[in-house]
Structure 1
């Protein structure tokens, strides 16, 4: 389809030089790094020569500058010159991240750090760039608008893409390669689809005969989809060396097509040209997520969500530790007088985000890449843990624990901190030192050890700030070695007697704390123990739910609020997988194996007043691998949907150990599964039938609870319809619902089995990268032990108003506990610096802005309706203000009382509130 503009105005070919720079993929990072140095060296030489080579887009975002200058620091001024002159375009991101596997806050930090780094050289390119992202989340338009970006360039999500990124001529949701993309909140940006991929102008010939053949095809391909005469040609591809003779190639094109204009362009100029002539009324509007749902389903790359699950778990741990623990704790500590470690947060976030490009976090690279990722995850986590430890000690020292002095000298206070956005009750476990003897005291090692072993642990109990005795389990961990690292002296080693205390912390405020103490009290009266949560070894029950375990290890769960009973929960499924790191493919005709007919060994692990746990074990005989045909087909580069391999007749024992736990005040059932994997080429899922009749379901995505259809579009041919999730997936009707929360398990499927079963992928084992060649990845078989965690949360039909979604979000966030001593302090034993009211808002972040010193809090509206937010703070302040994700200063919000503010939040809005102090 062609617009009338094209018959009136001359056409322009905008040729944009770039290279799609995957930092690591089919080669390890450093091998790509060496190629990057060579590329930028040659590019700088060409830019230095004269102005014929107009510009180049650094597709890899600002991290490319760091990577290059790490080896070539002497060229910083040359880079600066060309960036300042607009010939090297940088940013706005730090890295090109995957969308569905990285958190909302990670995407915000990516944009913030990309802008900060860009401004050291000039201004960031206001280009929403997603050339090869494996689908795009629905809130992308809102994130772009809040970043001052009115566009999004992307290659996937609305158009079929197949083997080696070949693209189809038809069958996508937009009439043109230009479209309006609208987010769930109503934000709109101009979408530019790389309809002929981001390499449609690659290697433009200088020779006239070759150029004639090249341009006849390329111009025709672009005209098929463009709504205007402004045609976009991307001169580059994956790790493509810059075409340094492009000016000469453009001169050839001009001679061949004098009626057209050929320019060495850039994204800002191209966008302006399109906007000047585009008729918005001609464009299609595409709403929400771009997940390639209107395709045959074979090229979506969705199963990267389950490739190398261990990476996803490490990433979730790293993200949560930074955004949900370290940043709010450091903000709290800063209010108390401690410096906020901006430099450490930037370093930790950058190190974590180096694992966020799609070929990295998606687990679809060679083994060497993912080994290095594990090290980066560890490095980022170690920095975050250090910030957490420093911050929590500062906070604990400010809590007034002097009330515990009434119990005598042997008092060991501890402070429980809840960094989630909701009041919280749950089981807490903490290790504390019952006594400590420093080696500096001069005793021999033998005497030091003896004194610690002789410490009497009897006659102790846990109390809260009101003097109530708290039921607590103590485990003696015996003699332990430790050390302090003071700021003003040499390290201080010690020996101690350490114990582990486990108890139920009740009603700890959101972003707040509650103090307890382990004390010695003569003739202490133990609290009256409530009834056991266990009935025999097969039934667990609290006030909310009842769980009955069956001989095969599955269980039935009854929700007392809704009256709904869920059956056959916790059955495991195993199938062959003859696909690759990108996509799952079950062998043709194979019947899935399940544990439904397998006897389980069941025993009680824990029976305390606050929690009961039951262990379920399976020894499951499954095929050892695929048969030999898979190797033949991989070597022949047979496209994975067309493979005929089956599973081997050889078998191995897959050992499953499942622990299900119910807490006294819990809203859900916790599940921890340990998998000892000795098989290859297969997939393991946990199945949770809901038996709820509904056509749609809800799933946690980036800053959004997205609604998706259970039945795929009519174009969908793939028997599998797996999808991405972050914290949870939920199926509900008007009376009941079941939310399945997970930790780092990013793939699920709602089965079309008549029961609307939620299937959570726990492990997927494959042996090749896939895509454009044969790249063996034996470590992607994920042999060895893996531990996964989930929570089943039944509710009354609305995940927001019932609190099920809040429970699922809290499942992600660890408790923080710090031992301290008896002292006076400015903070009450039960305290939070913030309070707010809004059931529909999910709390996302508390951090400090480096430039202004302001505190920034962020929420997002989970609902499709407007809601009111009232926030109060006891922190000394001048005023509240509303800002964007870039945290620009803004005008004060009106306030009826000091220390509070109220405002209306639009449907699906991401809202950031600043506190000027």
Structure 2
């Protein structure tokens, strides 16, 4: 039977990597110019796959707008295939909603050219693939994915053993999400360059194709062979048409065609066997030797991951919900601003960008992009908040006197929550138009402040810390006149809120405290080195470690918060401990322990370690890098010379807190090392659970029999958890994406705080001194114990990442109540992903997902948004009409609910 060789032309285009963005950008212009010229000059050059990412169209037209008409022409003719993504993201280091926005903007960009996005879930070079990808893609009408990493076929005899349930004998297989969604998966078993630079000379072509046909046949499930004509930043092969003719002349039993993914997949489905292997869930290369999973990109340049967590949270958990809430009262939802802001952020999500595995110039530009995205999100938040606060009734505070300063606190999470919140109150303001700035400043400073207190809308006093912040310059930017500068006197207020409803708000006021009551002894959460509230008891040991008692279960967790330090002679991709080195810890190091705050609602203790750490690796490491010696074969060690690193660890226990909050701050003055915080669980379990994309992934604590790497680090988002039938421990974080379950007999959770290396580490010598991450760093963690209801700890971990937002108001008699909750959700194992508006009809969009291992029911028990509810897919296209307030979700299902206008 005659075989078909499908040759798909492409280039895998990293927007930035071993060269800065603009250098790659200029190369892209040249490549795209050549491509369009080739389309014009050679009608036999039929198709080109534009790497699955539409951002390249924007990049090209930014420099070559005059070629837009020709670009549109070849797209509409179906010759240039675009989408389905906006960028080729790293899936594990970008949030659930970021992955969705990436898919949505890729589809919308394709639609702008009058075509549908290419319906191939394209992951050519992702460093592992998310377990929910089949469900996400299937909801977007995509039933096939092509990927380069994460699963390894057993190889050359087309055989697979019964034990290898995650592997496939072929490059074609079925890929199934935890919810049961299944799609066709195509592995680039011979990589996505197995058809690059095809010779047009007959003699060379025979040698070339003999090997490549043999290699492809070893993995193919049928007579349809895939050859990817391109590679990283590969120039266009302008003589490909001639090369294909030569190949067809040589081989009479093979038909060589210039193909595209749509045609290839259609024919493949007709010819492939029906009993392909089914691979399930995450594809993380766990059935390999463990050296090239590239998971340690999760700890390369951690500052980027922290920036990303901040920006993602601001968009999907604050800006979109608050703008949606405001839209319910007439605010015009700024779709254009969201698209600009999201795209600015998502441009930092390609795998060589967010993974921190590029040259220093790339990551400097990323910080500027993060700053840009953050400012867009904050602008939308402020505009939306201003709109809502102008409609909230604060008239009830009027009877409290003349000096009354109301403010609102808004909860944009999908969960009811109480929290400790900071806000600033402007108690006096004078504009420059009213006098000379110097005189105004002096006048503001002389204001005599009374004693203040904070009250809620019912006049109840709220425990708070009130600090005079002095004067500060500020300015208004009115819509109808020039900027208005002023000086104002500020009071900083920190308070413990009441329970604020999900997607809701509550109002408070700063007022003069005229009571002169006898000072009562206050309740304290501190007793020497013990912090205690109604939920947990925390004992701080002499070495700065923590023993934590969960009062609900009686379980005590010992030896928490110990620091570990080890050398790292690897690179941005891969951690490598020097051979024979034993990591050092603070277990036997005496710490200084100091009470910093002892308030009714909060206790703060600061722990200081002064720790002698090896200064760097020895000189041999530089020689090994310059010789491009693979990390596994390096002999370098750390210097005996040490430097003293001071680490400040702040422990915070809130009166109503369910966990212990931790802030670690240090000035990194060492090189070539990794520092982690350790949390011993002493829980007997062979598995653990990590927050991932639309799921809490269940992962084994042990490695595959083929595993050789001494390290088994893995990805997380908001938390990692270990539990048994009775109790467990959840370690939440903000932007710390790497953890490891140690094989130490205690199931210790190790969370990476910093990793310092000096080279990119792929195919040549690319030194990256800024990847040493010298300077000041800050890491935030929450330790959350739990009993049988582990999902409450998962919610707490998500809440830990989401800030409350506040705004000062005036006394006003307006239409909205002083407290409110617009949408309340309930359901076992249900997590809230986001609340937003769709950009086509302006309907409200609520997305949730089920992290439990069984079907569950979502109950929308409060909904103050008007309109009929319906089910939509991940692209926010309606799929099911009117539903009621209770909806069933199957195990691990992602559910999007629309609410009409």
Out of 112, 115, 119, the position equivalent to 2:111 is 119
Partner of 1:693: 684
* Residue matched to 1:154: 147
Unaligned runs of 5+ in 2: none
Partner of 1:845: 834
Q: In structure 2, what is the Cα distance between the partners aligned to 1:224 and 1:127? A: 24
1:406 matched to 2:399: yes
Instruction: For 1:305-704, list aligned pairs within 5 A.
Output: 305-440=298-433, 442-523=434-515, 531-536=523-528, 538-704=529-695
Q: How much does 1:255 deviate?
A: 0.9
SS at 2:248 equivalent: helix
Q: Distance in 1 between matches of 2:261 and 2:324?
A: 38
3-state SS, counterpart of residue 893 of structure 1: strand
Q: Specify which of 801, 819, 835 is matched with residue 830 of structure 1.
A: 819
Is contact 1:688-1:758 (8 Å) kept? yes
What's the CA shift for 1:885? 1.2
Report deviation, 1:797. Answer: 4.0
Shift of 1:408: 1.8
1:726 aligns with 2:710: no
Partner in structure 2 of residue 785 of structure 1: 776
1:107 corresponds to which residue?
99
For the residues of structure 2 that align with 1:874 and 1:796, how far apart are their CA atoms?
31
Counterpart CA distance in 1 for 2:4 and 2:212 is 13
| Alignment check: 8 A CA contact 1:836 1:870 kept | yes
Q: Report the CA distance between 1:246 and its aligned residue.
A: 0.6
Q: In 2, Cα distance between the equivalents of 1:334 and 1:303?
A: 42
Confirm or deny that 1:903 pairs with 2:887. yes
Is this contact kept in 2: 1:470–1:527, CA < 8 A?
A: no
Please name the residue that 2:127 is paired with: 134
| Partner Cα separation in structure 1 for residue 317 and residue 772 of structure 2 | 32
- In structure 2, distance between residues paired with 1:530 and 1:280: 72
1:82 aligned partner: 74
CA contact (8 A) 1:734 1:798 kept: no
Aligned residues of 1:469 and 1:526 also touching (Cα < 8 A): no
Measure the CA separation in 2 of the matches of 1:389 and 1:808: 26
Task: Work out which of the residue numbers 283, 290, 307 in structure 2 matches 1:297.
Answer: 290
1:58 aligns with 2:50: yes
Cα deviation for residue 869 of structure 1 reads 1.3
- Residue 268 of structure 2 corresponds to 274
CA contact (8 A) 2:153 2:171 kept: no
Contact 2:571–2:757 under 8 Å retained in 1: yes
CA contact (8 A) 1:160 1:295 kept: no
What do the CA deviations read for 1:146-193 (whole angstroms, capped 9, x no partner)?
1110011000001299xxxxxx99997111100000000000000000
| TM-score, length-scaled by structure 1 | 0.96
Shift of 1:279: 1.9
Partner of 2:241: 247
Find the aligned partners of 1:525 and 1:206 in 2 and give their Cα distance.
95
TM-score normalised per structure 2: 0.98
| Alpha-carbon offset, residue 827 of structure 1 | 1.9
- 2:12 is matched with 20
Q: After superposition, where does 1:222-233 map in structure 2 within 5 Å?
A: 222-233=216-227
Supply the distance in 1 between the matched residues of 2:271 and 2:104 (Cα, whole angstroms): 32
Change (3 A) 1:527 1:14: farther
Once the two structures are TM-superposed, the CA of residue 683 in structure 1 deviates from its matched residue by 0.2
Given that 2:128 and 2:283 are in contact with CA atoms closer than 8 Å, whether structure 1 keeps it comes out as yes
Question: 1:213 is matched with which residue?
Answer: 207
C-alpha deviation, 1:518, in angstroms: 0.7
Write the distance in 2 (CA, Å) between the matches of 1:169 and 1:433. 73
Higher mean C-alpha deviation, range 699-708 or range 387-396: 387-396
- Residue pairs, 1:869-888, within 5 angstroms: 869-875=858-864, 877-888=866-877
Aligned to 1:547, the other structure's residue is in SS state strand
Question: What is residue 808 of structure 2 aligned with on the other side?
Answer: 819
Query: Helix, strand or coil: the match of 1:205?
Result: coil
d(CA) in 2 for partners of 1:169, 1:319: 44
Hey, what's the Cα distance between the residues in 1 that align with 2:597 and 2:804? 20
Between the two proteins, the alignment pairs up a number of residues equal to: 893
- Give the corresponding residue for 2:727: 736
Query: SS of 2:765's equivalent?
Result: coil
**1:876 to 1:473, Cα distance in 2 relative to 1, 3 A:** closer
Q: What stretches of structure 1 of length at least 5 have no aligned partner? A: 1-8, 162-167, 896-900
Displacement of 1:521: 4.3
Structure 1 counterpart of 2:257: 263
Contact kept? 1:471, 1:527, Cα under 8 Å: no
Aligned alpha-carbon RMSD (Å): 1.5
The worse-fitting range, judged by mean Cα deviation, of 443-452 and 354-363 is 443-452
2:514 aligned counterpart, secondary structure: coil
- The 1-side partners of 2:771 and 2:376 are apart by 28
Cα offset, 1:659, TM superposition? 0.3
Instruction: Please report how far the alpha carbon of residue 444 of structure 1 lies from its aligned counterpart in structure 2 after TM superposition.
Output: 2.8
Tell me what 1:4 maps to: none
Partner of 2:900: 916
- When residues 259 and 160 of structure 1 are mapped into structure 2, their CA distance, relative to the original with a 3 A threshold, is closer
CA distance change for structure 1 residues 273 and 474 in 2, over 3 Å: closer, same or farther? same
Question: Which residue of structure 1 aligns with residue 138 of structure 2?
Answer: 145
Secondary structure in structure 1 of the residue aligned to 2:307: helix
CA distance change for structure 1 residues 424 and 389 in 2, over 3 Å: closer, same or farther?
same
Q: Is the 8 A contact 1:858 1:911 kept in 2?
A: yes
Indicate conservation of the 8 Å contact 2:741/2:750, yes or no.
yes
